[in-house]
Amino acid sequence: MEDDDRSKKPRVKSWAEPFKIKMVEPLKMTTRAEREVALRDAGYNTFLLRSEDVYIDLLTDSGTNAMSDRQWAGMMLGDEAYAGSRNFYHLEAAVQEIYGYRHLVPTHQGRGAEHILSKILISPGDIVPGNMYFTTTRLHQELAGGTFVDVIIDEAHDPKSEHPFKGNVDLVKLRRVIDEHGSQKIPYVCIATTVNMAGGQPISLANLREVRELCDAHGIRIIHDPTRVAENAYFIKEREPGCEQMSIAEIVRALCDLTDGCTMSAKKDALVNIGGFLALNDDDLFDKARNLVVVYEGLHTYGGMAGRDMEAVAIGLHESVEFEHIKARVGQVAYLGHKLQDIGVPVVLPIGGHGVFLDALAFLPHLDQDVYPAQALAAEIYLESGVRAMERGNVSSGRDPATGMNRRPKLELVRLTLPRRVYTQAHMDVTAESVAEVHDRRASVKGLRMVYEPPQLRFFQARFEPIG
C-alpha cells in the first residue's frame, strides 16, 4: 500500500543555488589568541577589525556580493567617458524597465542619493514619517533640518511577533502625524522595502496601497528606499494573498509604481560592490537633483561611478529579479535562522531577507542596555570563531538630539548578514555552531563601556573597553 508513514510526512523541498563557483578567495583562519589581540586593537568594534583577521564575514550584505560572469564581462565594456557614457544609458534603461521611474541620477552609493534628496525636498522644521529609521537616511534628513517620525506598526519593534509584514505602516500613526503637523510640513513619506533595522522585514502591497491613498488625499509624496526590494517582493509572493502567481519583477514594479521616486543603494539587491542612484518621476525635482549631483558626486551621467560600475549595476538589477536567485538567497538566510532557532538562540521572527538578527536583550538578559549588550555579543562571537557580525541596537541608534541621552531602542540586535552568492551551507553550519558556543556560556559575557564616541554615526568608529 502507498498509504504508509512516509506519505503522511510533509515533504521538505530543498533549494539550491542557481550557480556554480568558478573563482575562489582563500580565507585566513586565526587562533583565539590572535583574535583577542585583533579585537582589543579594534576597540571591541567589529567595524574596526581588519578584514584579513575575519574568517566568515557577516558584517554586512552591502558591497560584499559576488558578481556573475555576465557582470564581470560587462565591466570590460566600461565606457569611461567623462560625459554621456554608454553604460549610463544602459543603467537608465534598466531602472526604467525594472523600477519604472522616469529619471535617473547616479550617485556613488545610497547615502549620496539620500544627501541630494534631503537637500532638495526637506526644509528646516519639516517632518519625515517613515517605516522605521535607517542610520544614514535619518542623519541626512536631520542634517537638512528635518525630523524623522517612526510610523511603522508596533509589531516591528517586538522581536517575537511573527507578523508576516512587520515593515507595514501603521495608518493610524501616519494619519496622526499628518493631523498634528499638516501636510505642508511633510515633504514626503519614506518607505523602505525591506526594513533593515526591523530585521529585514517586508511591507505588503496592500499596506503600501493604503499609504498611497492616504498620501494622495493630502498631496504628500512617497519616496521609496528599494535597496532590498527584490527580497521584499519574494516575501510578498510567499505570503500575500492574491500575489502567488505574480513574478518577482511584477511585484517589484507594483511596489515602485505606488511611489514617486527612490534613493537606492545598489550595493545590496543589485549584486555589485559599489554604486547607487536617485530616481524620480517629477521633471522639476529631477532638474534640481541633476543640478546638485554635479556639486557633490560628479557629472549627471556618472555621479561618482565608473562606467564599468554602472554596467555591472544595470546587469545586476536584471539578475536581482530572477526567481531562482532570490529564492536561494532568502532560503540561505532562512537556513541559518532556523538552525539558530533550533539551538534555542533568540532570533528576530520571522527570519528576515538579508540576515538573521539575534535578540541581544534576550540572549544577555543580565546586561543593561547602556553597557551595550549587542556590541558585547558581536565582539564575543568574533572572539569565539572569527565570525564577524554587526551591532544594531543602542550604539547604532545614537543619542536623541533633544535630550543627549542614548535612545535605548526596543530592538537591541546583532545582525548576521549574508553577502549574496558568497558563502556555502557549511559556512552557515559553522556560524550557527559558533553562536551556540557563545550561547552556552552567555552568563559570563560582560558589558562594554564606550571610551571614544564620534558625534555622528558613532557605531562606525566608536571604541569600547570591557567592564570588570
User: Considering the complex, what minimum distance in angstroms separates the CB of residue 343 from ligand P61?
Assistant: 25
| 269 assigned to active site | no
Contact 289, 117 (CB under 8 A): yes
Of residues 136, 320, 431, 434, which one binds ligand P61 by CB under 6 A?
Answer: 136
Measured CA to CA in angstroms, residue 194 lies from 235, 417, 431 at distances of 9, 14, 24
User: Considering the complex, what minimum distance in angstroms separates the CB of residue 231 from ligand P61?
Assistant: 11
Helices (H), 196-247: 205-218, 229-239
> What is the C-alpha separation between 354 and 248, in angstroms, rounded?
16
Name which of residues 338 to 367 contact ligand P61 (CB under 6 A).
none
User: Considering the complex, what minimum distance in angstroms separates the CB of residue 64 from ligand P61?
Assistant: 9
> In 3D, which of 143, 156, 148 has the Cα closest to residue 128?
148
How, if at all, do strands 188-192 and 221-225 pair? Answer: parallel
Binding mask 417-446 for ligand P61 (x = CB under 6 A): ------------------------------
- 111 is an interface residue for ligand P61 by CB under 6 A: yes
Residue 109 DSSP class: S
> In 3D, which of 273, 207, 263 has the Cα closest to residue 240?
207
Interface segment toward ligand P61; rule CB under 6 A; list 14-22, 23-31, 105-113, 380-388: 105-113
User: Considering the complex, what minimum distance in angstroms separates the CB of residue 457 from ligand P61?
Assistant: 6
Contact 249, 98 (CB under 8 A): yes
| 134 assigned to active site | yes
Beta-bridge mates of residue 223 = 190, 261
Residue 12 DSSP class: P
| 286 assigned to active site | no
**Active-site annotation holder among 107, 135, 193, 227:** 135
> What is the C-alpha separation between 250 and 239, in angstroms, rounded?
15
**Active-site annotation holder among 277, 423, 459, 464:** 459
List, as one string, the DSSP characters of 325-375. HHHHHHHHHHHHHHHHHHHT--B-SS--SSEEEEEHHHHSTTS-GGG-HHH
- 386 is an interface residue for ligand P61 by CB under 6 A: no
User: Considering the complex, what minimum distance in angstroms separates the CB of residue 31 from ligand P61?
Assistant: 28
Beta-bridge mates of residue 222 = 189
CB nearer ligand P61, residue 30 or residue 131: 131
| 452 assigned to active site | no
> Which residue number places its CB atom closest to ligand P61?
110
Of residues 276, 346, 373, 409, which one binds ligand P61 by CB under 6 A?
Answer: 276
Q: Give residue for cell 564581470.
A: 72
Interface segment toward ligand P61; rule CB under 6 A; list 130-138, 327-335, 367-375, 402-410: 130-138
In terms of Cβ atoms closer than 10 Å to its own Cβ (0-12, 13-18, 19+), residue 197 is buried
- 109 is an interface residue for ligand P61 by CB under 6 A: yes
- 60 is an interface residue for ligand P61 by CB under 6 A: yes
Residue 20 sits at the vertex; the CA angle it makes with 16 and 21, to the nearest 5 degrees, is 125
**Active-site annotation holder among 35, 253, 329, 392:** 392
User: Considering the complex, what minimum distance in angstroms separates the CB of residue 14 from ligand P61?
Assistant: 28
Of residues 71, 131, 196, 332, which one binds ligand P61 by CB under 6 A?
Answer: 196
Name which of residues 137 to 176 contact ligand P61 (CB under 6 A).
137
**Active-site annotation holder among 69, 82, 287, 440:** 82
User: Considering the complex, what minimum distance in angstroms separates the CB of residue 276 from ligand P61?
Assistant: 5
- 265 is an interface residue for ligand P61 by CB under 6 A: yes
Name which of residues 222 to 241 contact ligand P61 (CB under 6 A).
225, 227
> In 3D, which of 304, 377, 307 has the Cα closest to residue 345?
377
> In 3D, which of 129, 136, 99 has the Cα closest to residue 114?
136
Beta-bridge mates of residue 355 = 417
List, as one string, the DSSP characters of 404-422. -SB---S--EEEEE--TT-
Interface segment toward ligand P61; rule CB under 6 A; list 18-26, 106-114, 121-129, 435-443: 106-114
Size of the site for ligand P61 (CB under 6 A): 18
| 82 assigned to active site | yes
Catalytic residues: 82, 134-135, 225, 268, 392, 459
Contacting positions for ligand P61 (CB under 6 A): 60, 62, 109-111, 134-137, 192, 196, 225, 227, 265, 267, 276, 390, 396
